[in-house]
């Protein structure tokens, strides 16, 4: 049981999970009454005095907390910590007294621990992480440079790290003197760049011709990667520079100085002079032994590797898209969803037909219809950066037309996957990407996970259907919404469900044909298209209900126009006949009635799976709102299936029939006489 006298400390939203399984007692009065193991205080801040006072009265130890060295996405006020250090001896930035981290650094490592530390260093570089990870990377200068790191005024790491304001002037002068042929790049602290705090060097008169100021608050990875050397007083960037293999010059006494790994302007404490640890010892102590970590999606304990990968994924997704995006025609219920899927980009929402500013760096639209303003801009600038957004292939539990939020969307910069008239990012991947054994192995594992989980795009539940006894060949024909863009842009021949059924009956006259209307049509959310009575005359069974995964286990073949059910059938090893040109046609995996001249490469099924489910979509966690991998999305979909259904909100009840209303308006407009 741990006592937290400071209510401000107790208000950290991730504190409970980071301290699990300990029970927490909050408030000074409660801490005086409870049978505590220890009291918690935040470092050496003034708020720690209450804990120290109770400690003296009750004879209890004080354990000091601080953010871990891999903290979060945003800065302190903008994101709760996902790592925490707890020190029962002191605190890592106080060089005047021993700390638990110092003791851990001086310990020798086993061979396994050494390998883990070395792998962690490589992973840190590969995922390009830092303490804070919300900003985009600062571009390094083209010329050789050394990096000089400023800090915020009043930072306790300076007071307890044997440094002061003069240390920064000495550091800057040394950087200029030691590197006469390099530019000296002065990195301002992100909190100073954001206007929250003041710095030491940001306000000093800086007139030297080789000085450059970096005050964008950007991510430091590219600077650390390219710098000839890094100069710090007590900043954590000195530790990160060691992870990148840079020479580090320290003008204070941070936790990583005084061990022989840095060039130190100060004499280290005698207790550090007794040891000469390796870089692996420092890394293992600082990233494995000392901190606690939680998974940002589940809030459960995890290792540093898991958190590094989770943060690295956020950074990769942010780098993929422009910093600013103008989004056109997104309805109010889609706007917060788009913010999640384009996290890291600043969005400006505009009406569908609004003029597209000439200075806009990227334009986002839903699907294929750009609206008049974007179309005009594309006519003037065909090379404009256009992002087409659509549902992914693992979407949700429930229909998109029911305004159920998705777990995956795709962002395509060259076309869109259902438009066979032009290349898309997915088609280009399938046509040109060199798939290796790792990719094929992951595709196979993902396919097996999907099939075992019985997941499809919408994951609707229904009573099981069984094939009729004695039927020699059972064929499934999934219906589609006839006004759907995938038919307009991916079916140059047949266009209606009735035409499709008639063609299948002609192709397989002896088969038992099962027709399943599209769920949006069954739910009354989209217009019916072909009359149901005519459809029934062309099939042996018409199913208004049915779980797609279960149906695919009962049939011998599937005939599709462009329906994603064809892709889902391929995943399950079912024979697939394709009458249109969906993205999964033309790769040697199906029986295709049409050909696309751009396609023809022979792919393995697991290569198709890897491109379509790993490389192409973006997945966002329902719990955290952060990017996740497809394997995690499958786990969340399974959990979603176990949740009790909830009645739709009032706005969903009002807008859920939007698609049907829009189709009727469009149909009426097309029939109106032109004047």
- Map 559-627 to HEC letters: EECCCCHHHHHHHCCCEEEECCCCCCCCCCCCEECCCCCCCCCCCCHHHHHHHHHHHCEEEECCCCCCE
Inter-helix orientation angle 437-453/630-642, to 10°: 0
SS3 category, 99: coil
Q: Contact at 8 Å (CB) between 222 and 140? A: yes
SS3 category, 644: coil
CA distances from 519 to 334, 367, 462, 469, 525 (A): 21, 20, 11, 26, 9
pLDDT on residue 323: 94
The pLDDT of 323-348, averaged and rounded, is 95
The mean pLDDT value of the chain amounts to 92
As a whole-number percent, the residues of the chain with pLDDT over 70 amount to 93
pLDDT on residue 672: 39
> How confident is the model over 58-86, as pLDDT tens digits?
999 999 999 999 999 987 667 899 999 99
Residue 648 pLDDT level (bands cut at 50, 70, 90): low
d(CA 367, CA 103): 58
Cis peptide before 533 (omega within 30 of 0): no
Query: Has residue 664 got a pLDDT over 70?
Result: no
Lowest mean pLDDT among 158-162, 269-273, 449-453, 526-530: 526-530
CA distances from 241 to 25, 178, 292, 571 (A): 39, 18, 22, 46
Q: Is 401 exposed, middle or buried (0-12, 13-18, 19+ CB in 10 A)?
A: buried
Query: Has residue 168 got a pLDDT over 90?
Result: yes
Residue 351 pLDDT level (bands cut at 50, 70, 90): very high
Number of neighbouring beta carbons within 10 Å of residue 58: 15
Inter-helix orientation angle 304-320/111-127, to 10°: 20
The pLDDT of 104-120, averaged and rounded, is 98
CA distances from 287 to 72, 85, 116, 124, 234 (A): 14, 10, 10, 10, 18
| Strands in 150-240 per DSSP E | 183-187, 211-214, 230-232
Residue 149's beta-bridge partner residues? Answer: 187
Edge to edge, what strands does the sheet with 24-26 contain?
24-26, 2-4, 38-42, 62-67, 83-87, 291-294, 301-302
pLDDT on residue 320: 95
d(CA 4, CA 30): 9
> How confident is the model over 283-298, as pLDDT tens digits?
999 999 999 999 999 9
Rg of the chain's alpha carbons, rounded to an integer? 30
d(CA 148, CA 184): 7
**Could you tell me which of 282, 89, 254, 43 has the C-alpha nearest to residue 162?**
254
Residue 390's beta-bridge partner residues? Answer: 410
Q: Contact at 8 Å (CB) between 548 and 565? A: yes
Residue 526 pLDDT level (bands cut at 50, 70, 90): low
Domains in the chain, ordered, with CATH? 2-103 (no CATH), 432-642 (3.40.50)
Higher-pLDDT residue of 460 and 239 is: 239
As a whole-number percent, the residues of the chain with pLDDT over 90 amount to 80
pLDDT on residue 669: 47
SS3 category, 371: helix
**Could you tell me which of 189, 105, 198, 209 has the C-alpha nearest to residue 154?**
198
pLDDT on residue 675: 28
d(CA 284, CA 269): 22
SS3 category, 532: helix
List of residues 6+ apart from 158 with CB closer than 8 A: 151, 164, 167, 233, 234, 252
d(CA 412, CA 147): 37
């Amino acid at each position: 049981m741990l006592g937290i006298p400071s209510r401000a400390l107790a208000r950290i939203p991730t504190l409970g999970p980071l301290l699990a399984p300990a029970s927490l007692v909050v408030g000074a009065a409660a801490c005086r009454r409870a049978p505590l193991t220890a009291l918690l205080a935040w470092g050496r801040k003034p708020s720690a005095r209450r804990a120290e006072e109770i400690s003296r009265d009750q004879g209890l130890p004080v354990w000091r907390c601080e953010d871990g060295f891999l903290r979060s996405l945003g800065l302190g006020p903008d994101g709760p910590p996902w790592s925490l250090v707890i020190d029962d001896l002191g605190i890592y930035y106080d060089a005047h007294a021993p700390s638990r981290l110092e003791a851990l650094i001086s310990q020798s490592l086993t061979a396994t621990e050494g390998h883990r530390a070395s792998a962690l260093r490589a992973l840190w570089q590969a995922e390009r992480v830092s303490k804070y990870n919300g900003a985009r990377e600062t571009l390094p200068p083209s010329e050789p440079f050394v990096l000089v790191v400023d800090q915020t005024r009043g930072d306790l790491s300076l007071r307890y790290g044997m440094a002061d304001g003069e240390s920064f002037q000495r550091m800057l002068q040394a950087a200029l003197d030691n590197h006469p042929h390099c530019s000296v790049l002065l990195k301002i602290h992100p909190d100073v760049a954001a206007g929250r705090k003041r710095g030491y060097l940001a306000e000093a008169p800086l007139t030297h011709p080789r000085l450059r100021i970096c005050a964008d608050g950007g991510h430091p990875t590219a600077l650390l990667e390219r710098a000839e050397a890094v100069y710090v007083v007590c900043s954590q960037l000195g530790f990160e520079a060691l992870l990148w293999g840079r020479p580090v010059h320290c003008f204070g006494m941070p936790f990583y100085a005084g061990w022989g790994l840095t060039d130190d302007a100060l004499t280290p404490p005698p207790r550090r002079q007794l040891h000469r640890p390796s870089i692996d010892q420092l890394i293992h102590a600082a990233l494995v032994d000392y901190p606690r970590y939680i998974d940002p999606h589940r809030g459960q304990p995890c290792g540093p590797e898991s958190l590094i990968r989770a943060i690295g994924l956020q950074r990769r997704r942010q780098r993929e898209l422009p910093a600013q995006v103008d989004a056109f025609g997104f309805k109010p219920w889609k706007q917060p969803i788009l913010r999640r899927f384009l996290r890291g980009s600043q969005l400006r929402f505009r009406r569908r037909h609004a003029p597209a500013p000439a200075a806009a760096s990227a334009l986002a639209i839903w699907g294929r219809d750009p609206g008049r303003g974007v179309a005009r801009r594309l006519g003037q600038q065909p090379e404009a950066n256009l992002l087409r957004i659509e549902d992914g292939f693992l979407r949700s539990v429930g229909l998109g037309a029911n305004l159920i939020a998705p777990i995956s969307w795709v962002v395509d910069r060259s076309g869109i996957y259902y438009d066979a008239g032009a290349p898309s990012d997915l088609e280009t991947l399938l046509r040109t990407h060199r798939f290796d054994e790792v990719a094929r192995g992951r595709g196979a594992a993902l396919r097996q996970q999907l099939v075992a989980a019985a997941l499809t795009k919408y994951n609707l539940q229904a009573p099981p259907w069984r094939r009729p006894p004695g039927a020699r060949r059972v064929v499934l024909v999934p219906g589609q919404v006839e006004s759907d863009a995938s038919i307009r842009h991916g079916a140059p021949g047949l266009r209606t469900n009735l035409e499709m059924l008639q063609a299948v009956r002609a192709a397989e006259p002896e088969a038992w044909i099962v027709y399943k209307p599209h769920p949006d049509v069954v739910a009354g959310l989209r217009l019916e298209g072909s009359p149901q009575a005519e459809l029934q005359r062309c099939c042996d069974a018409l199913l208004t209900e049915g779980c797609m995964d279960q149906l695919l286990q009962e049939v011998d073949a599937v005939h599709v126009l462009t329906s994603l059910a064809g892709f889902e059938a391929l995943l399950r090893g079912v024979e697939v006949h394709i009458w249109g040109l969906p993205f999964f046609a033309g790769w040697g995996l199906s029986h295709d009635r049409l050909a696309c001249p751009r396609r023809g490469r022979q792919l393995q099924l697991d290569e198709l799976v890897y491109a379509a489910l790993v490389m192409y979509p973006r997945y966002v966690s329902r719990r955290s709102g952060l990017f996740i991998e497809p394997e995690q999305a499958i786990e969340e979909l399974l959990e979603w299936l176990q949740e009790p259904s909830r009645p739709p909100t009032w706005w969903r009840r009002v807008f859920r029939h939007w698609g049907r209303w829009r189709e009727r308006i469009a149909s009426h407009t097309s029939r109106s006489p032109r004047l």
